A and B are shown apart, each in its own frame.
Chain A
Amino acid sequence: MTAPAQGVLRSWLEQMILIRLAEDKVMEIYMQGLVPGTVHLCQGQEAASVGAIGALTADDWLLCTYRGHHHALARGMGLEAFFAEIMGRDSGACGGMGGSSYVIDASLGMIGSPAIIGAGIPVATGAGMTARLRGEDRIAMCFFGDGACNIGAFHEALNMAQLWRSQVVFCIENNQYGEYTPFRDSTALPPEAPIAHRATAYGMAHTVVDGQDAVAVHEVVAQARASAVAGDGPTLIEARTYRYRGHSRTDPGAYRPPGELDAWRQRDPIGILAERIGAAGEVEDIRERLQQEVDDAAARAATGPWPTLEQARGYVFAD
């Protein structure tokens, strides 16, 4: 696989900083009472989405999850539509019907982001089957967390995806915790084995990657994409990463052992990419510039109109 050009890496760095600032902004506007419900934030997981999505083409489909803000922004969603959706406004990406857990733009190939754990895994498998049946150079990229690997939909979908050589790439963002529980307390595996090891039960290719390193993630996803399109079947990728915040807004993450968060912060994905491209000295300047964009977009989003009941009715059924 060709390594990404310097200009591409630079754009990834900016995307990751943008995602970090946007997530911090979501937290801020939540505290201001501008966000209904709850939010599931992804600070710390930026490299897994940016590196993976960087390996996709414009035609590829994406299945995301309720912790999916980074996927939407990495795929190119505009900030105002993003914030407005989280605020439940008509001007949001989904007309205010999806909320924080369902921020998608179908015109960017984002075809769903269910709040039900694991529900997107069969759906991505089906999209990958469409590509396979039509012989298209196209895949479905499926993101989910470590917690999704214990639900039936995961196993049912992996079995069929491999049987039928669906053009799908599965990416577990293993952020160490399924809700409030460390993944090793809920996931039966051979000692020290990664979750991706479960692919072996289905004869499926699998790999573990440093999820804090966008370049490493990009490389394995690009390989997996090529295999899927070639008809060699899906790959189960486990990107090892970390969620700086708790599961949802009300979770302070008190169950984490002392020092764990700090240790992961030493391997911050933004810092790792900045070092790699020799841009560590520019991160602050980029932050300042993007902070203004984020602030402006969130302020505009907060003035968006509320959706009407009539609009909501219109969204249920297609003509």
Chain B
Amino acid sequence: MSSPTESSPPSPAGAEVITYREAIRLALDDAMAADETVLLLGEDIAKAGGPFKTTVGLYEKYGAGRVFDTPIAENGFCGIALGMALTGLRPVTEIMFSDFLPTAFDAIAMELPRWRFMSGGQTSAPVTVRASGGGGGRFGAQTSSTGESWFLQFYGLKVAAAGSPQGAYGLLRAAIAHNNPVVVFDHKAMHLRKGPVVRGDDQLAEVGKAVVVRPGSDVTVVASLLMVHRSLEAAEELAEEGIDVEVIDVSWLRPLDMATVAESVARTGRLVIAEEQYHDGGWGSAIISRLATSGSALAAPPVAVSMPEVLISHSPPLEDAMIPSAARIADAVRSVRA
């Protein structure tokens, strides 16, 4: 099933065209309406409606017992969420900028994924941790990371990244309904982008399933978050040159949907990774490693379009040079075709 994006008209039946940010808000709203054990914890998310306006109206609708304004204490409130989850609730924490996730590293990396295991399966921890990351806002070195691959070594966590408004809705609904801890990333620069979204309790994304957002036959591009959008832009440009690009929104970084990627690469023989992160240690390098170790034959060496190894700056020319552009992705596709 192809997930709709703003560049894949026509809209599916029942879709409303809304912003990515509104898709997040509606996912929270619908999840809270569907299950009274779902509750929200985060900074400024109740009375103020959220720093990124992802919770507007939810405090008024569900009340102080379901939507909590927390102190600026991420490790503390993620640990509190774990305690709530162990005792029958289904909390969602909002971390605001992804760059604040490391302040909660113990709770997210060391407690959430290991708690059930250490108990020999006696307990479970259905906690969703949400964070908004990514560059382009001129926010500088400590508020511009996507953070998407930071937790890949903490087995026991599942990790999702939303590449479209439908993804923002479906992945978050799936994470909240899931019986294990999930970290869900979204991208700040996509918050105001619009696309068709089908809502409903039957619109939960499948855990661990990537989405082919543009079918193609010549080159496979696997992307996450904003890079999905930029890969689609690159694909349009390349189509005019006669290059037919398949774009996959990776959607889940843990577990990786290698079946979808391998099937695509088996057809195209060519792979480009588009990622707003450093390549080493990320999901993009994991895909290349898994293809290599499974003996997948490529017609050309894969190329990763990633962030250069320097730190991000608020200075516009520097930030623009760091975040992969549609032009860089297009160049990479041309290079694997050469």
Chain A residues with a Cβ under 8 A of chain B: 61, 63, 92-98, 102, 104-107, 111-114, 116, 119, 121-131, 133, 140, 152-153, 156-157, 159-160, 163-164, 312, 314-319
Contact = CB atoms under 8 A, between A and B. Distances in A.
Contacts of B70: 160
Contacts of A163: 71
B293 to A, nearest CB: 20
Contacts of B87: 61, 111, 126-127, 130-131, 140
B80 A94 contact: no
Given A119-B107, A157-B76, A163-B71, A126 B84 contact: yes
B111 interface: yes
A95 B81 CA distance: 25
B57 interface: no
Given A114-B111, A119-B110, A156-B76, A126 B118 contact: no
13 contacts: A92-B120, A111-B86, A112-B123, A114-B115, A126-B83, A126-B84, A130-B83, A153-B75, A153-B76, A153-B79, A156-B75, A315-B119, A317-B156
Contacts of B121: 95, 314-315, 318
A156 B103 CA distance: 12
B89 interface: yes
B40 to A, nearest CB: 13
Contacts of A121: 79
A130 B39 CA distance: 11
B116 to A, nearest CB: 6
B71 A126 contact: no
Nearest to A154: B76
Contacts of B85: 126
Contact of B76 (A95, A98, A122, A317): A122
Contacts of B82: 122-123, 126
B228 to A, nearest CB: 27
A117 to B, nearest CB: 10
A215 to B, nearest CB: 30
Given A130-B87, A133-B89, A153 B106 contact: yes
Contact of A128 (B68, B83, B115, B117): B83
Given A116-B111, A153-B76, A159-B76, A123 B86 contact: yes
Contact of A119 (B81, B106, B123): B106
The 6 closest A-B pairs by CB, nearest first: A126-B83, A122-B79, A156-B76, A95-B120, A94-B120, A126-B80
B73 A156 contact: yes
B116 A125 contact: no
Contacts of B71: 156, 159-160, 163
A94 to B, nearest CB: 4
A318 B116 CA distance: 8
Contacts of A131: 87
Contacts of A164: 68
B179 A318 contact: yes
Contact of A317 (B106, B107, B116, B120): B116
A75 to B, nearest CB: 14
A69 to B, nearest CB: 15
B73 A97 contact: no
Contacts of A98: 118-120
B91 to A, nearest CB: 8
A157 B111 contact: no
B117 A97 contact: yes
B124 interface: yes
Interface in B108-157: 110-111, 115-124, 126, 155-156
Most buried by B among A116, A122, A124: A122
Contact of B119 (A94, A125, A156, A157): A94
Given A106-B122, A111-B123, A129-B84, A316 B116 contact: yes
B84 A127 contact: yes
A97 B123 CA distance: 13
Most buried by B among A94, A112, A121: A112
A140 B89 CA distance: 15
B100 to A, nearest CB: 13
A107 B122 CA distance: 8
Given A125-B83, A318-B179, A112 B76 contact: no
